[in-house]
Amino acid sequence: MAERKSFLLRMDPALWAELEGWAQEEMRSVNGQIEYLLKQAVNKRKGRAIPPVPPPKADEE
């Protein structure tokens, strides 16, 4: 796996709480959720198709 770049990110605590809840719903870490959202934004900006993410199955919740 390629080396990953780390950096400090400051954000509003309310935004963090929203991201944390969203990440838990999608079974990701907050870091993973932020990276996922940034990748979606970059792909959208470049006009690439964004593959849909299936919702979690009812028996996995």
Q: What is the domain range of residue 40?
A: 12-44
CB 36 within 8 A of CB 25: no
CA 30 from centroid of its chain's CA atoms: 7
**Three-state DSSP string of 9-27:** CCCCHHHHHHHHHHHHHCC
Three-state DSSP state, 9: coil
Residue 29 lies inside a defined structural domain of this protein: yes
Residues lower than pLDDT 50 in the chain: 61
Domain count, the chain: 1
pLDDT at 58: 67
In a domain, 49, yes or no: no
pLDDT, position 8: 94
Query: What are the residues whose beta carbons fall under 8 Å from the beta carbon of 45, sequence distance 6 or more?
Result: none
- pLDDT at res. 47: 85
Residue 31 within any structural domain of the chain: yes
